Amino acid sequence: MALNTLQGLTLSLIQEGHYFVLADSEGAILASGGWSRAIPDYKSHYNDPNPDRPTLESFATVRCVYVHPDHERRGYAKEIMQRIEEDAREHNVSVLALSSSRTALALYHSLDYTCGAVHMVKLPNGRGIELHEMHKALLACSEFPAVEEQRTKNECSSN
- pLDDT (tens digit, 9 = 90+) per residue, 44-81? 444 445 544 444 568 899 998 999 999 999 999 999 99
pLDDT score at 152: 40
Question: Which range has highest mean pLDDT (5-9, 57-61, 106-110)?
Answer: 106-110
B/e letters for 122-134, b = 16+ CB within 10 Å, e = fewer, are eeeeeeebbbbbb
Within-domain flag for 140: yes
pLDDT score at 155: 55
Number of domains the chain contains: 1
Question: Which range has highest mean pLDDT (18-27, 118-127, 137-146)?
Answer: 18-27
Sheet holding 59-67, edge to edge: 19-23, 29-36, 59-67, 95-100, 128-137, 114-122
Within-domain flag for 18: yes
pLDDT score at 77: 97
Within-domain flag for 50: no
Within-domain flag for 85: yes
pLDDT score at 102: 92
Q: Whole domain around residue 143: which residue ranges?
A: 3-45+55-149
Report how far apart the first and last C-alpha atoms of the chain are (Å, whole number): 23
Verdict on whether the full-model pTM lies above 0.85? no
Within-domain flag for 154: no
Within-domain flag for 155: no
Mean pLDDT of 107-124: 92
B/e letters for 54-74, b = 16+ CB within 10 Å, e = fewer, are beeebbbbbbbbbbeeebeee
Within-domain flag for 16: yes
Report the CATH number that the domain containing residue 99 is assigned in CATH: 3.40.630.30
Mean residue pLDDT of the chain comes to: 80
Within-domain flag for 73: yes
